[in-house]
């Protein structure tokens, strides 16, 4: 199959790439990871002005003039640059879930705020074991005498929770089942404590202690929260795969250029056959990742089922991205392990995202189930 970009898609990719090259150098990335918010508000406003949030939210329904492939291309470039921002959790995860639920309840205003970049939403869907539990939530929702609900529970690894305006929380509504709630982060009883992980993207532990939410803060229909999340999980997973694919692209190109330029004993490292074999291994892993990712993306873009293909993509990329960073470290030698050089950021990015939304083993099991094995 031919997965080459059309001329319009190539122009779009170049526009993303040019912006990120200008605004998102690796030195700046390291600085943003260390500041209080974990991203650059100035760059966030520029991204909103370029319509990136709108492109992502509208790509879910393939509205006129938009395509899911456009969002795939964007996230691939974001992964190449390693831009730290709430874009994935706000526009992709929360935006997709709200769009899915808006057909059965209010949500248009929330989506408009996400698309404008004026408000940041984040999804708090992981329990204390680090598992997605939207079908059997570990957060409880109890009716309050004032007509609303009280939410109690702990959410783990919530991206940018301490700088977001709203949380999307799936709670177990008594006699109602898994229900999505929109929770203001400044509500009484909400605490967000930053937690250090392998990759320096901003993550928090969020605790809800009898936090009051109004009945109007129910997203969609009560009891359908798990269904809304499941309905968009494949698309969300594939956008994360696209981000990882962009990281693989950077690692491959950087390593190949390094062995061309690095001379040892009077000749470039790249003339050694063993080095060429390593580079060929990286290229094979990348091309396999690219083919599986775009196969799944093209099926989704055409409105077809792609559960099996998404599982293939996440399984392959989870392993392949990590292996590429291993090889890159070996070929770079000592300099590849220094903080001044960006390779370590991609290794950490690969390892953390390997575990997000299911690791390779999990998705291989899903693939076997789809194949009836």
| Predicted confidence (pLDDT) per residue in 37-87, tens digit | 889 999 999 999 999 999 998 887 656 567 899 999 999 999 999 999 999
Which pLDDT score is estimated for 1? Answer: 61
pLDDT for residue 310 is more than 60: yes
pLDDT tops 50 at residue 277: yes
pLDDT given at position 247: 96
77-117 confidence digits (pLDDT tens): 999 999 999 999 999 999 999 998 876 444 567 888 999 99
pLDDT tens-digit profile of 140-185? 999 988 889 999 999 999 999 999 999 999 999 988 899 999 999 9
pLDDT (0 to 100) of residue 106: 47
Whether 96 and 71 have beta carbons less than 8 Å apart is answered as no
d(CA 36, CA 76): 26
How do 166-173 and 140-143 pair as beta strands? parallel
Provide CATH code, domain 227-370: 1.20.140.10
**Chain length of the chain:** 373
3-state SS assignment for residue 136: coil
Q: What is the pLDDT of residue 65?
A: 60
Predicted confidence at residue 185, as pLDDT, reads 95
Same fold, 7-116 and 227-370: no
CA dihedral 221, 309, 59, 111 (to 10 degrees): 30
- What percent of the chain is predicted at pLDDT more than 70? 96
- Please tell me what DSSP assigns to residue 132: B
Mean pLDDT estimate for the chain: 91
CATH number of 121-223: 2.40.110.10
Which helix (H) or strand (E) segment holds residue 275: the answer is helix 273-301
Q: What is the per-residue pLDDT for 9?
A: 87
- pLDDT for 28 beyond 50: yes
> Quick one: average pLDDT of 11-15?
93
Which uninterrupted H or E stretch holds 152?
Answer: strand 149-159
Q: What local confidence, expressed as pLDDT, does residue 373 receive?
A: 75
Distance of CA 250 to the CA centre of its chain: 17
Burial per residue of 78-117, b for 16 or more beta-carbon CB atoms within 10 angstroms, e otherwise? bbbbbbbbbbbbbbbbbbbbbbbbbeeeebeebbebbbeb
Instruction: Say how many C-beta atoms besides its own lie within 10 A of residue 297's C-beta.
Output: 27
Quote the pLDDT of residue 283: 97
**Domain layout of the chain by residue ranges:** 7-116, 121-223, 227-370
CATH 3.40.1170.10 at 7-116, yes or no? no
Cβ(259)–Cβ(279) under 8 Å? yes
Query: Which pLDDT does position 163 carry in this prediction?
Result: 92
């Amino acid at each position: 199959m031919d997965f080459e970009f059309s001329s319009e898609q190539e122009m779009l990719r170049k526009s993303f790439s040019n912006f990120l090259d200008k605004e998102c150098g690796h030195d700046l990335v390291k600085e943003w990871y260390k500041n209080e918010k974990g991203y650059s508000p100035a760059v966030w406003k520029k991204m909103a002005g370029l319509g990136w949030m709108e492109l992502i939210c509208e790509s879910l329904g393939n509205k006129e003039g938009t395509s899911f492939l456009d969002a795939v291309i964007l996230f691939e470039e974001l992964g190449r640059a390693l831009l730290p921002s709430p874009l994935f959790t706000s526009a992709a995860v929360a935006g997709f879930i709200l769009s899915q639920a808006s057909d059965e309840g209010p949500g248009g205003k929330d989506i408009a705020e996400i698309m404008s970049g004026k408000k940041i939403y984040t999804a708090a869907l992981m329990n204390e074991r680090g598992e997605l539990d939207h079908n059997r939530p570990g957060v409880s929702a109890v009716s309050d005498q004032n007509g609303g609900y009280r939410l109690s529970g702990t959410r783990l690894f919530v991206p940018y929770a301490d700088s977001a305006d709203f949380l999307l929380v799936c709670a177990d509504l008594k006699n109602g089942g898994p229900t999505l709630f929109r929770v203001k982060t400044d509500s009484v009883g909400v605490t967000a404590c930053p937690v250090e992980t392998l990759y320096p993207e901003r993550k928090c532990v969020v605790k809800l202690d009898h936090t009051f939410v109004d009945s109007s803060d129910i997203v969609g229909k009560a009891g359908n929260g798990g269904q809304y999340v499941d309905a968009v999980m494949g698309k969300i997973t594939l956008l994360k795969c696209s981000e990882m694919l962009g990281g693989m692209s950077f690692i491959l190109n950087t390593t190949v250029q390094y062995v061309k330029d690095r001379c040892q004993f009077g000749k470039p490292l790249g003339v050694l056959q063993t080095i060429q074999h390593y580079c060929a291994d990286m290229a094979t892993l990348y091309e396999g990742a690219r083919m599986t990712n775009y196969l799944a993306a093209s099926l989704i873009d055409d409105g077809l089922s792609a559960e099996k293909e998404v599982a293939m993509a996440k399984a392959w990329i989870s392993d392949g991205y990590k292996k590429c960073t291993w090889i890159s470290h070996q070929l770079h030698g000592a300099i590849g392990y220094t903080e001044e050089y960006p390779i370590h950021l991609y290794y950490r990015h690969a390892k953390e995202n390997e575990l997000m939304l299911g690791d390779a083993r999990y998705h291989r099991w899903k693939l076997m189930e789809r194949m009836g094995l």
